[in-house]
Chain A
């Protein structure tokens, strides 16, 4: 995988994963979607969140191999988490949209 493309792709995969995990918490669920998450939704979000983080690690290994991949994964995880942490108080409604818009914005420079 092309390294710069991997950078975007993994960043937004991490972002979506962390967003899902943050939504399992009452405080952030209330910020973004209002109300408390139900038990089933909480479980689904948790499963989705951790799966996305696992997927991100695997994507990193494809781009950088298993020696450098995990280093890149930790770095991108931190970067994505900063994005999320600062969006939550300032633009909570936009936070879920970024996980959709972000990858779409990243695709054109590489594929069109």
Chain B
């Protein structure tokens, strides 16, 4: 049978969409939560209670950097890099990061900025916070392999968007059409309307999402023109100083505090971060990063430099200084940065972040409606698409739908509970939180496989609704802080997280009521028309 173009696009949209929809839902949901990674981290690390952190004087900063350097020299005299985060209004502790070789794991410790002693586990609520959602979003916590999987799914998303437009016969006539309470028709309307009304956003976010990792996905240019030396390529792209390859001559890093103070004088801004590349080697360099000024950046699409000063770490000689608020690099870099800024919504502050959050949630809902529509269609009118295996395949799709949609939602809100319930002195606490997040997600899969689809949906939705609605109460019981206190002191980040959770809780209750009513209506129908159902299943 010869197919029309629209029929083949419909096939592509259905099957290409189905096999990627679960992973795309995860990417959309966690990415959308990631829009608010800072407020989520603020909530998880109980920053609202801490109050104002007094600003540090230049001497205090110099002392903190010296203490951090002493610590790093003891821990990793030779390393790929050291990074020192100075205390700021969000984080009163001194943070040190390092990696010994490119292959070894990333290390992080928090120190007391006055004494340099390592803060004891349990003295703060150690957590990845909202960053967990961001990592889940772009690499599924699976490193480079995850980036490639997300890339493949993103391509599938672009294909599904284009084929979806072709398949949608009445894109203009049905532009504003949603017909609730009509079963399959309503799911299709919902799927269509959610996609069509956010189409500009969906294209933008999907395309820029691919572009962010272009150097990973399309390495051929750098491999051919720069012999695969990414550092050399990026220093040319950004008009920066040439890369400094390792020389394999041992040399100690000069004291960082005087370099930091010289750097601050050169860029006329306080230091946020001090990064040392190749400490222990003659090629070592020190980069002073000026403190990021979010307020000044919110009016611009393309962010400007916060100011950096680069020194030879051994001789202390100045290599490069970039003043704050300056822009470097040519048009190519500007285009690239605009794409990144559009994806990360680095501009426009809260109003724009909320619009991204809304559009992202609409995208996630669109994917969920599509996946559910696939099964609603087949529950009513079971086909024979996979021969004798059809029933089995449908069952797998049902189970995956519940676990990938309902289950992930449950795991995301459970992550907030894990953060509050896991004891503070657990070793590697931040990692444990993420492991427990995955454990909850896995449990929802087992639950979905064990229960009938209707029961599984209802129970997981009910659990999510409960966890959302009781979140402020949990916070009150576990930390003594909560929504009302946060509102009273004008802490919009803490209050925002809990109010958003409440809103989602109400949404889940509404969805649950809808499911119950439909189930009751279906039962009533079955009782009055036993013959009709018998014929339907028989035929």
A pairs with B: yes
Of the candidate stretches B238-246, B350-358, B427-435, the one touching chain A is B350-358
User: In the complex, are the beta carbons of B176 and A68 less than 8 A apart?
Assistant: no
Whether B301 sits at the interface, judged by CB under 8 Å, is yes
Q: Give chain B residues whose Cβ lies under 8 Å from the Cβ of A78.
A: 197-198, 200-201, 355, 358-359, 362
Which chain A residues numbered 58 to 95 have a C-beta less than 8 Å away from chain B? 64-65, 67-68, 71-72, 74-76, 78-79, 81-82, 84-86, 88-90
Count of A-B contacts judged by CB separation below 8 Å: 75
Q: Which of A6, A7, A27, A67 contacts B301 (CB 8 A)?
A: A67
User: In the complex, are the beta carbons of B352 and A82 less than 8 A apart?
Assistant: no
Q: Give chain B residues whose Cβ lies under 8 Å from the Cβ of A86.
A: 178
A39 CB to nearest B CB, Å? 18
A67-B359 contact, Cβ under 8 Å, with A74-B201, A78-B198: no
Whether B349 sits at the interface, judged by CB under 8 Å, is yes
User: In the complex, are the beta carbons of A75 and B352 less than 8 A apart?
Assistant: yes
CA distance A84 to B359 in the complex (A): 15
Interface of A is mostly: helix
A74-B200 contact, Cβ under 8 Å, with A65-B299, A67-B301, A68-B301: yes
User: In the complex, are the beta carbons of A82 and B351 less than 8 A apart?
Assistant: no
Q: Give chain B residues whose Cβ lies under 8 Å from the Cβ of A46.
A: none
B492 CB to nearest A CB, Å? 12
Residues 1-36 of chain A: 1 if any B CB is under 8 Å from the residue's CB, otherwise 0? 001101100000000001000100101100000000
CA distance A68 to B356 in the complex (A): 13
User: In the complex, are the beta carbons of B342 and A71 less than 8 A apart?
Assistant: yes
Whether B379 sits at the interface, judged by CB under 8 Å, is no
Closest to A7 in B: B351
CA distance A68 to B395 in the complex (A): 46
CA distance A27 to B352 in the complex (A): 33
Closest to A18 in B: B176
Which chain B residues numbered 153 to 193 have a C-beta less than 8 Å away from chain A? 173, 175-180, 193
User: In the complex, are the beta carbons of A72 and B179 less than 8 A apart?
Assistant: no
User: In the complex, are the beta carbons of A81 and B176 less than 8 A apart?
Assistant: yes
Residues 329-358 of chain B: 1 if any A CB is under 8 Å from the residue's CB, otherwise 0? 000000000000010000111011001101
CA distance A56 to B410 in the complex (A): 38
Closest to B196 in A: A81
Which chain B residues numbered 447 to 478 have a C-beta less than 8 Å away from chain A? none
A49 CB to nearest B CB, Å? 12
User: In the complex, are the beta carbons of B176 and A25 less than 8 A apart?
Assistant: yes
A28-B176 contact, Cβ under 8 Å, with A64-B348, A81-B197: yes
User: In the complex, are the beta carbons of A85 and B193 less than 8 A apart?
Assistant: yes
Q: Give chain A residues whose Cβ lies under 8 Å from the Cβ of B197.
A: 78, 81-82, 85
User: In the complex, are the beta carbons of A68 and B348 less than 8 A apart?
Assistant: yes
Q: Which of A6, A67, A81 contacts B300 (CB 8 A)?
A: A67
Instruction: List the 8 closest A-B pairs by CB distance, nearest first.
Output: A75-B355, A67-B301, A81-B197, A22-B176, A74-B200, A78-B198, A7-B351, A85-B178
- Other contacts beyond A28-B176, A71-B347, A88-B178: 6, CB < 8 A: A4-B351, A64-B348, A68-B348, A75-B201, A82-B197, A89-B179
By a beta-carbon cutoff of 8 Å, the part of chain B in contact with chain A is 173, 175-180, 193, 197-198, 200-201, 299-302, 342, 347-349, 351-352, 355-356, 358-359, 362
19 A–B contact pairs at CB < 8 A? Answer: A3-B349, A6-B351, A22-B175, A22-B176, A25-B176, A27-B173, A27-B177, A28-B176, A67-B300, A67-B302, A78-B198, A78-B358, A78-B362, A79-B355, A79-B359, A85-B197, A86-B178, A88-B176, A89-B180
